[in-house]
Structure formats: structure tokens, C-alpha cells
């Protein structure tokens, strides 16, 4: 569907109005020559059917009904051809407009507007061609050649102006395929000459062979077009699906992946709303919603009970399909669509399987970089992030701070109350780190009861303030275990890398300084 252009709409309306007003005025003023009424009606109905079974060449529509228009033009004058062409085309597009009301009012208006323009275009080109050729005296062969060329070129001119006013690409007007379709139009017009001569000298029945041939050509050409368009459409969907699968397979961060899944699925299916639900014993329950504007995520809510097979409801335009994982089901996707496209439905199984693979890979990646107890990053991942941020800081000249924390008397806590109590203390402290770290900070479990936090674009005084918030929260907290309240405290060490004042710093030295300051802090707490 074309984009909206006021100039384009005004132009199409003017062409449509002039295309019927001028021929009607001429008919009222000077009368209209026509074949017997029943024959005329028969030709109109046949032209209507041929117009409906049009064929396409690239962006151009070609239909065999123009031979009927030219036959009437050739034998009965341009007023008859203009009025017949306008009536046939406007009736057909009016039918398309009524049918489109089931989809949307906007699409219905598009068909009505487009039909008025197409009908008006043929009304004008036959009227104008008939008028100017009548001003010159010539033999029949020259008349036929001039009028056919005029009809083709005037039609292309009106289409060119319309395309330009809508700001669309004009490159296809320079292509051989485009002008090949114009040549075919000229050939079809010329068949109208033979058709007219047969009708004039042999009667209506003698034209049936031509009518049957054009009917068959139109029908088989239309069928070939539909098959070709369907294949091209499927190829386009296949390319889009491959693009989506490449994107999903490249994302290892689970949260980013889930957001990308709902967005890509929404766009591919042209959905109104998308819901993704996954249940995994390692990461819990995720529900992700997308309405085309905002992604919403819920964690650890009500479990989802996924279906084992795809469910399609054409009445409600809903689709539910499972996300497989190994031999089981990881979750499901729920789509609310504007319309159900059977070609796109064929990609659901492929999409579901690849979503399952991508989520599984993201879960494995998360398990490899996250501590299973605290959910913080592992030491190995932290080392990687430290080097990345250190290099970035070195290039930008911005400060980088590192904090190292250690829970006081953690061994005594484990020995006295057991490892479950120790785990509770670790989880509690982790909660404070997650509470105060920013999205671009990196917090990790360094080992045992030690934690590290990397603070990019943060100087020593800012890191000190962050550290004191964590320590204060910890001092004011107790954990309850076996009916007993256990007080928790922590110590911390800080290190800063300022590329401007300390260019000889290395990641290893930064960790060593933070560790040394942590030990000094612990000694002071004793």
C-alpha cells in the first residue's frame, strides 16, 4: 500500500473525476455510438472478467480487457471506449473496496481511490487520443499506429506523475522489464483491430476464438503470477527467518535474548501482542511481554504449563507454540495476530526449535559465568571484564575503581551454625551488592566469602561512598537461623586506576592493591 501524500491523493481524484466527466459531457452533447446493447453488455462483462484475471510484469499490471476497449475505440469512437473502460475498471475496484472493508477501512479507501484513478486514467487517455488524432487526416494504418502509441505513452505518463507525487522510487521506469510490459500492452491493443474487423464483417460468434484464447492466456498467466508471487513471498519470508535466527544465535545474554525473541517474532508475524514464557529449574520462571512499544519482564511468577503442540485459532487469530528443549518443553510463545498468514505459519516449528536452542545456549553461558549460589559473576568472567574495562579506561582516560569485600568471621559462622547459615549470609550480602551496583558495574564472587566489584568511570571518593553504603547495610543486618539471630559484618579494600596519574598500573596490580587494603581493613576490625 502506498504511503499517504496529499498531492498524490488530489491528483488521483482529479484524474478520476475528469476521466468520467469529460466523456459523459461529450456523450450527452453529441451522443454515443455503440454496438447492439446486448452485445455491448456482453463485451463489458467479458472485459470485467479479463480485468479481474490480470497478470503482472514487475510493478506493472497488464490485462487483456484493453483489447475490448480498443475494439470499441476503433469501431465506435473514443467516447464509447472511454465510458466503457471507466465503468468496467471502477466496478471492479469498487468490488475490491467492498471486499477490503472486512480487513480495514483504510485499505478499502485505498482500493476505492486507486480504482477511481485507474478508471479515470483510461477515460482520459482514450478521450485525449481520440480527440487529437481526429484533428489530423490519415489512413487507417497510421491511425492504428498513432493511437496505440499514444494510449501506451499517455498511460505511462499518468502513472509516472502519480508515482512521483507519492515520492516513490522512479528507477523501475528506466528498466527493460517495465517497457517490455508497455510493449505487450501495445500488442494487446493491436489484437483489438482484428477483433473489431471480425465482429464487423463476420458477427459476434466469429470473435469467440479470440475471446477464448485471451481468456485462457489471462487465466493461465494469472495462475503463473500467483504461483510466482507465492514463491517470491515464501523466499522473502525464508530470508527474513534466516536473518532472525542469525540474530538469536549470536546473543548469549539471557535477558537480551528474551527481549530480542519477542521483538523479532512480533515483527515477523505482524502481531498485536506477544508473550514468551519459559520455566527452567536453573533460572526459574520468565514471562516476557511485547506490544510493539514496550517489553515487560516478570520473573519467578506463576509457573507456565506449555502445550506440547502448536495451537492455531483462526477465529481469535491466536497462535500458541511450544519451545522445545532436548526431549521436553522449555516454554511456549503466545501470539495475537492482526491476520493469519499460512505461509508464515509454516515457519513456526523452525522458529520454536531455534528459540529453544538459543535459550539453552544462553542458559549454559549463564551457568558458565554466574555463581550458582549467589547469581553473581564468576572469577573467570570478572577477570575478562576487568581487562576490558582497564583497556577502555586506558583509552578514554577515565578512572576505574575496584572494591574487594570479605565477610568477617565467616569460617567461625560455618563452624558454629553450619554451611546453610553461611550460605544465607552470602546470599544476604549479595543482595546488597545487586541493590547498589549500576548496569555497567560488574560484581563477582571472588572465592569463598570474598567478593569483588568493578566500577567503571568511578574515582576513589565515589567508590569509597559506594563501599560505605554496602558496609553500613551489612552492619545493620542480622540473619535468623535455627531461631537465633546472627549478626553479620564485612571488611573492604579499595583500589583506583587513574590513567593520567598512574600510567604504570596493570589489572594485576589493581587487584593486589585492593587485596592488601582489604587485609589492612580486616586487621583494624580485629
Which of 291, 289, 344 has the alpha carbon at shortest distance from 319? Answer: 344
Provide the 3-class DSSP secondary structure of residue 339: coil
d(CA 384, CA 66): 71
Instruction: Single out the catalytic residue among 371, 406, 441, 449.
Output: 449
In the block, which residue shows the cell 503470477? 225
d(CA 422, CA 485): 13
Provide the 3-class DSSP secondary structure of residue 449: coil
Which of 213, 12, 40 has the alpha carbon at shortest distance from 119? Answer: 12
Number of C-alpha atoms within 13 angstroms, CB side, residue 29?
Answer: 7
**What is the DSSP secondary-structure string of 263-308?**
HHHHHHHTEEEEEEEEEETTTEEEEEEE-SS-EEEEES-SPP---S
Q: Which CATH superfamily is domain 251-368 in?
A: GAF domain (3.30.450.40)
**What is the DSSP secondary-structure string of 111-141?**
HHHHHHHHHHHHHHHHHHHHHHHHTS---HH
Number of C-alpha atoms within 13 angstroms, CB side, residue 185?
Answer: 26
CATH class of 379-525: alpha beta
Tell me how long the chain is. Answer: 526
CB 344 within 8 A of CB 237: yes
CA 62, 64, 69, 73 dihedral sign is positive
Is residue 449 part of the annotated active site? The answer reads yes
Render each residue's pLDDT in the chain as its tens digit; 526 residues: 556 678 888 999 999 999 999 999 999 998 889 999 999 999 999 999 888 887 765 555 678 889 999 999 999 999 999 999 999 999 999 888 888 877 666 778 888 888 899 999 999 999 999 999 988 878 888 899 999 999 999 998 998 898 888 888 777 777 766 677 788 888 889 999 999 999 999 988 988 888 888 888 877 777 777 777 788 788 888 999 999 999 999 998 888 999 999 999 999 998 999 999 988 776 678 889 999 888 888 887 777 777 788 899 888 889 999 998 877 888 899 999 988 888 888 899 999 999 999 998 988 888 888 888 998 999 999 999 999 999 999 999 999 999 999 999 899 999 889 999 999 999 999 999 999 999 899 999 998 899 999 999 999 999 999 999 999 999 888 888 888 888 999 999 999 999 988 888 999 999 999 999 999 998 876 4
d(CA 460, CA 231): 63
Cell digits for 236? 522473502
Domain boundary assignment for the chain: 6-234, 251-368, 379-525
Contacts of 4 (CB under 8 A, 6+ apart): none
pLDDT at 109: 84
Provide the 3-class DSSP secondary structure of residue 479: strand
Helix axes 6-30, 78-100, angle to 10 degrees: 140
State the CB neighbour count (10 A cutoff) for residue 69. 28
Cell digits for 166? 507519492
Q: Which residues of 423-462 are buried (b: 16+ CB within 10 A; e: fewer)?
A: ebbbebbbebbeeebeeebbbbbbeebbbbbbbbbbeeee
Which of 443, 440, 438, 402 has the alpha carbon at shortest distance from 426? Answer: 443
d(CA 257, CA 161): 46
pLDDT at 282: 66
Amino acid at each position: 500500500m502506498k504511503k499517504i501524500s496529499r498531492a498524490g491523493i488530489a491528483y488521483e481524484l482529479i484524474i478520476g473525476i475528469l476521466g468520467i466527466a469529460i466523456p459523459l459531457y461529450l456523450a450527452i452533447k453529441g451522443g454515443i455510438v455503440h454496438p447492439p446493447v446486448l452485445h455491448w453488455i456482453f463485451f463489458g462483462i467479458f472485459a470485467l472478467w479479463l480485468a479481474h484475471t490480470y497478470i503482472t510484469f514487475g510493478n506493472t499490471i497488464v490485462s487483456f480487457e484493453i483489447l475490448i476497449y480498443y475494439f470499441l475505440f476503433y469501431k465506435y469512437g473514443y467516447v464509447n471506449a472511454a465510458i466503457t473502460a471507466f465503468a468496467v475498471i471502477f466496478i471492479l475496484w469498487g468490488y475490491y473496496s467492498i471486499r477490503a472493508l472486512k480487513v480495514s477501512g483504510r485499505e478499502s479507501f485505498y482500493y476505492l481511490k486507486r480504482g477511481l484513478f485507474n478508471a479515470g486514467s483510461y477515460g482520459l487517455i482514450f478521450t485525449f487520443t481520440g480527440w487529437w488524432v481526429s484533428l489530423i487526416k490519415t489512413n487507417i494504418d497510421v491511425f492504428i499506429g498513432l493511437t496505440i502509441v499514444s494510449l501506451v505513452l499517455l498511460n505511462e505518463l499518468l502513472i509516472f506523475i502519480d508515482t512521483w507525487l507519492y515520492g516513490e522510487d522512479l528507477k523501475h521506469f528506466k528498466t527493460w522489464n517495465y517497457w517490455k510490459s508497455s510493449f505487450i500492452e501495445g500488442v494487446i491493443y493491436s489484437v483489438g483491430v482484428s477483433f473489431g474487423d471480425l465482429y464487423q464483417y463476420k458477427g459476434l460468434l466469429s470473435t469467440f476464438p479470440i475471446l477464448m484464447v485471451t481468456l485462457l492466456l489471462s487465466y493461465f498467466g494469472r495462475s503463473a503470477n500467483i504461483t510466482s508471487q507465492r514463491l517470491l513471498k515464501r523466499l522473502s519470508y525464508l530470508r527474513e527467518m534466516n536473518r532472525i535466527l542469525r540474530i538469536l544465535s549470536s546473543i548469549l545474554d539471557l535477558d537480551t535474548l528474551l527481549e530480542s525473541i519477542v521483538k523479532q517474532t512480533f515483527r515477523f508475524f505482524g502481531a498485536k501482542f506477544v508473550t514468551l514464557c519459559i520455566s527452567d529449574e536453573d533460572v526459574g520462571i520468565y514471562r516476557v511481554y511485547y506490544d510493539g512499544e514496550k517489553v515487560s519482564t516478570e520473573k519467578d511468577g506463576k509457573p507456565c504449563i506449555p502445550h506440547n503442540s502448536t495451537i492455531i485459532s483462526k477465529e481469535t487469530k491466536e497462535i500458541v507454540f511450544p519451545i522445545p528443549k532436548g526431549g521436553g518443553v522449555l516454554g511456549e510463545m503466545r501470539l495475537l495476530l492482526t491476520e493469519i498468514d499460512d505461509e508464515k505459519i509454516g515457519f513456526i516449528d523452525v522458529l520454536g526449535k531455534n528459540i529453544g536452542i538459543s535459550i539453552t545456549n544462553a542458559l549454559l553461558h549463564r551457568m558458565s559465568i554466574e555463581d550458582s549460589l549467589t547469581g553473581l559473576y564468576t572469577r573467570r568472567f570478572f577477570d575478562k571484564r576487568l581487562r576490558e574495562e582497564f583497556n577502555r579506561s586506558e583509552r578514554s582516560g577515565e578512572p576505574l575503581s575496584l572494591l574487594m569485600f570479605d565477610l568477617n568471621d565467616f569460617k567461625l559462622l560455618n563452624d558454629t551454625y553450619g554451611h546453610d547459615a553461611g550460605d544465607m549470609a552470602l546470599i544476604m550480602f549479595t543482595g546488597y551488592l545487586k541493590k547498589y551496583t549500576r548496569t555497567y558495574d560488574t560484581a563477582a564472587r571472588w572465592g569463598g566469602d570474598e567478593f569483588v566489584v568493578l566500577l567503571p568511570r568511578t574515582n576513589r571518593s565515589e567508590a569509597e561512598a559506594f563501599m560505605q553504603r554496602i558496609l553500613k547495610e551489612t552492619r545493620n543486618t542480622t540473619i535468623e537461623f535455627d531461631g537465633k539471630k546472627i549478626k553479620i559484618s564485612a571488611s573492604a579494600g579499595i583500589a583506583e586506576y587513574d590513567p593520567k596519574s598512574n600510567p604504570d598500573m596493570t589489572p594485576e596490580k589493581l587487584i593486589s592493591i585492593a587485596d592488601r587494603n582489604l587485609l589492612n581493613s580486616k586487621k583494624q576490625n580485629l
